[in-house]
Structure 1
């Protein structure tokens, strides 16, 4: 019985190794749907470097910025579904179809493979600010709607969505409570 289990395990290992060696048989393209130099680009390049070791093929990072990441997402969705063109997706790739009925990519056009990283969100104010707690800040926003602004990559990027969620949870209209100032680099 021990010999049978050993032979079965060896056969499975050999079969899985042979299957794994069939992909990839050529270089892989990783589309980062934002400009170079930002957090997404750095994450994509780190992934490409690590993946090369495991895949045995080069992984080329291609930056395709535009439309809050949806330009690159659209290009990947339209590529051959052969596993050789991958998307470094961000939260916005999933949020856009959920909140925008005219999104260039539908939610079900993606096949999510794995999470890549966790990005912490930090709420901070200037050292000399009168706000010393989240409650103080929310009270200030509520008392003077629209007077405060925040910078974010876009409404469906994680930084913008986090602020909008905070405002909505405080029962404020995220569109009028504070003003979104889009970051120019779109990362």
Structure 2
């Protein structure tokens, strides 16, 4: 009887010394889904699909892209939040991830619900104006705006997005007033600028590169901290004394924050390899985007900085801040 008890005790005790298998060792053992909050064929969709192909090659499992556009990216975000926190559902995030936090009363998620696994790239905004004498430089344009304060219109995309926040920040720092006119997309906003319905529109640099041959439009300043490689002769707003006019349309991949740490690390390591590849750098250049200089931790810090800016400006506009 004692021998039997000893044998059982030994067997139970030995179980405690079995090697612990990390979840990441077997991950992934089935396909991974990347949810994209934009329609198929958009530049952001093409960028994500290129990254998904790279992740698939490294991780050895299919990485499937699923498009779920709508409601300022919140439909896709909430779909990712409802999925299991196991690393098999990844969300492609953009500035819309943050703008929905203040543009919607109940977006259904918080910043703390997700962690970054890596940046895909970014594009700053660039202020465009008609090629007139008053817009030969940002200085002359500001003089014109001040002398016509309250009389002019500027194009924005929607009524609560980053364009409105940039417009608000520029008005405050430069000391003038104009009226935000919402448009449903970059093309109609550009047409309004060409028609003279508005005096300015801040397009993404990736969009503006397609307009470089348009001699009726002139670029004035970019909203990044450093000059854009696609418009190296155009100054930043900060260079001209307006440091608060700062925003990027950034894109990256995130997962639920309660995803196991070892799986998050595996995804971050894989993303770093993908984004350092020549293929992805070429994809970014072809799309008019720039690579993010930093790891997932630095990218997460940048996201939080943007969120603080958006929340501050949204509060000034009396928009809901969650």
Using structure 1 for the length normalisation, give the TM-score.
Answer: 0.72
Structure 1 unaligned segments of length 5 or more: list them: 1-14
Q: Which residue number corresponds to residue 181 of structure 1? A: 183
Conserved 8 A contact 1:148-1:179: yes
Q: Which has the larger radius of gyration?
A: 2
Equivalences, count: 167
Q: Which residue number corresponds to residue 150 of structure 2? A: 145
Question: For 1:37 and 1:141, how far apart are their aligned partners in 2?
Answer: 38
Change (3 A) 1:76 1:107: same
Equivalences for residues 121-132 of structure 1 within 5 A: 121-128=125-132, 130-132=134-136
Q: Which residue number corresponds to residue 96 of structure 2? A: 92
Change (3 A) 1:19 1:108: closer
Question: For 2:172 and 2:49, how far apart are their aligned partners in 1?
Answer: 35
Equivalences for residues 46-61 of structure 1 within 5 A: 46-61=50-65
Question: For 1:154 and 1:60, how far apart are their aligned partners in 2?
Answer: 33
Change (3 A) 1:122 1:22: same
- State the secondary structure of the residue aligned to 1:97: helix
Q: Which structure's residues are more often strand, by fraction?
A: 2
- State the secondary structure of the residue aligned to 1:104: coil
Conserved 8 A contact 1:36-1:63: yes
Q: Which residue number corresponds to residue 311 of structure 2? A: none
Structure ranking higher on relative contact order (CA contacts 8 Å, 6+ apart):
2
Which residue, 22, 28, 49 being the options, matches 2:26?
22
Runs of 4+, deviation exceeding 6 Å? none
Change (3 A) 1:138 1:68: farther
Confirm whether residue 63 of structure 1 aligns to residue 67 of structure 2: yes
Q: Which residue number corresponds to residue 47 of structure 2? A: 43
Confirm whether residue 113 of structure 1 aligns to residue 117 of structure 2: yes
Change (3 A) 1:141 1:92: farther
Conserved 8 A contact 2:154-2:181: yes
C-alpha RMSD over aligned residues: 3.0
Question: For 1:59 and 1:155, how far apart are their aligned partners in 2?
Answer: 33
Q: Which moved more, 1:115-124 or 1:91-100?
A: 91-100
Which residue, 8, 32, 35 being the options, matches 1:31?
35
Q: Which moved more, 1:101-110 or 1:162-171?
A: 162-171
Conserved 8 A contact 1:34-1:68: no
- State the secondary structure of the residue aligned to 2:64: strand
Confirm whether residue 134 of structure 1 aligns to residue 154 of structure 2: no
